[in-house]
Amino acid sequence: MMRSILFATGTALAITVGATALNGQTPSKTTNSGVYTAAQAERGKKVFEAKCTTCHDTARFTGDPFLDVWDGKPLKDVWDIASGTMPEDNPGSLQPQEYGDVLAYFLHLNAFPAGETELKGEAAAMAAIKIEKKP
Amino acid sequence: MTLMAASAIGAQDMKSVKTGVYTAEQAERGVALYKQKCASCHAPNRFTDDLFYTSFAGKPLWEMFDVISDSMPEDDPGGMKPEEYADVIAYLIKLNGFPTGQTELPTSKEALSIILFEKP
């Protein structure tokens, strides 16, 4: 009895610690650090035009309408919504890297600088980048 | 014991979409608006799927009203009248097979906060 309680407590603790380590990941870079490539944003533009423009205008993801909502938040927040709910008629159906490319295109639309390394289409990479409106 | 009493009062105040919280006429207006303002992007089955229930089942209707009236239509967020958003939501409730009633779905936060949306 005691043993199973100890075991359960230990497991719960391990899960809690694990979750904290994940959730507590502090973004180490910002969108001003050059976190995507120009070529990637070009690919993202093509995906956006093929999959998103039926419903979404680029204005919706550019400047204040976009940055006022997301400034200071990890890029993963945008990633979660895009990859979890879009496209509307088939949520989650794009390749992970296609979502990453579309997000790179959004960064390009907002004049964040391109860099040498592509933005990886995965949650952990997105969590490490903070959206930061230029001063 | 105190806790039980408190939650009993809470439960008493809440009502469910199962109890007839919109009118047939309202849902008719809602479907007309839906066709005009929503159907270009949203198929009706998007409001009877698991993603929809994950977002809104077990929560007060105010949450649905708040999200939709804040973010839709995509090209003019918040551009409809509160009554129009309520009409569209009445249609979404109808899509989920919940019964009509004698009173229209309201628009106020207070009133919508005590109506629970459920997975049918």
Domains parsed from chain A with CATH numbers: 27-130 (1.10.760)
- Determine the residue of chain B that is closest to A56 in CA distance: B74
Nearest CA distance, A104 vs chain B (angstrom): 21
Q: Which residues of B touch A57 (CB under 8 A)?
A: 74-75
Q: What is the pLDDT of residue B87?
A: 98
Q: What is the structure's pLDDT at B12? A: 61
Q: What pLDDT is attached to residue B1?
A: 41
Look at the pTM and tell me if it is higher than 0.90.
no
pLDDT at position A25 is 62
Residue of A91, A125, A114, A127 whose CA lies nearest to A44: A114
Specify the pLDDT at position B68: 97
Any idea what DSSP says for residue B47?
A: G
**Which residues of chain B neighbour A92 with C-beta distances below 8 Å?**
none
The proportion of chain B whose per-residue pLDDT surpasses 70, expressed as a percent, equals: 90
Q: Which has more confidence, A116 or B8?
A: A116
Q: Is B19 helix (H, G, I), strand (E, B) or coil?
A: helix
ipTM of the complex: 0.74
Copy the structure tokens of residue B92: 């979404």
> If you average pLDDT over residues B100-110, what whole number do you get?
98
Give the C-alpha separation, B89 to B83, whole Å: 10
Other CB atoms within 10 Å distance of the CB of residue B39: 12
> What are the tens digits of pLDDT across the range A21-78?
444 567 889 999 999 999 999 999 999 999 999 999 999 999 998 999 999 999 999 9
DSSP string, A35-53: -S-HHHHHHHHHHHHHHTT
Distance CA B48, CA A75 (A): 29
**Does the pLDDT of residue A116 top 60, yes or no?**
yes
Considering chain B, what is the average pLDDT of its residues? Answer: 92
Select the residue of B43, B51, B74 nearest A85 (Cβ to Cβ): B51
Whether residue A131 has pLDDT greater than 70: yes
| A contacts of B41 (beta carbons < 8 Å) | 54-55, 88
SS3 sequence of A77-123: HHHHHHHHHCCCCCCCCCCHHHHHHHHHHHHHHCCCCCCCCCCCCCH
d(CA B42, nearest CA chain A) in Å = 7
Determine the distance in angstroms separating the CA of A51 from the nearest CA of chain B, rounded to an integer: 12
Does the pLDDT at position A4 exceed 90?
no
Judged by CB atoms closer than 8 Å, whether chains meet at A56 and B46 is answered as no
List, for residues B45-62, the tens digit of each pLDDT value: 999 999 999 999 999 999
Contact A57, A114 (CB under 8 A): no
Q: What is the SS3 assignment for A29? A: strand
Model confidence at A134, in pLDDT bands (50, 70, 90)?
Answer: confident
* Chain A touched by B43 (CB under 8 Å): yes
Which residues in B lie closer than 8 A to residue A54 (C-beta atoms)?
A: 40-41
Q: Do A85 and B43 touch (CB under 8 A)?
A: no
Asked if A56 lies within 8 A of B43 by C-beta distance, the reply is no
**For residue B9, pLDDT beyond 60:** no
Q: Which residue has the higher pLDDT, A50 or B3?
A: A50
Q: Which residues pair with B116 in a beta bridge?
A: B16, B60
Domain edges within chain B: 15-116
Taking CB atoms and an 8 Å cut-off, how many pairs form between chains A and B?
18
pLDDT in tens, B64-97: 999 999 999 999 999 999 999 999 999 999 999 9
Q: Do B74 and A55 touch (CB under 8 A)?
A: yes
Question: CATH code for B15-116?
Answer: 1.10.760
As a whole number, mean pLDDT of residues A89-93 equals 93
E strand or H helix at A76: helix A75-85
CA distance A88 to chain B (A): 7
Q: Which of A83, A132, A85 is nearest to A103 (CA)?
A: A83
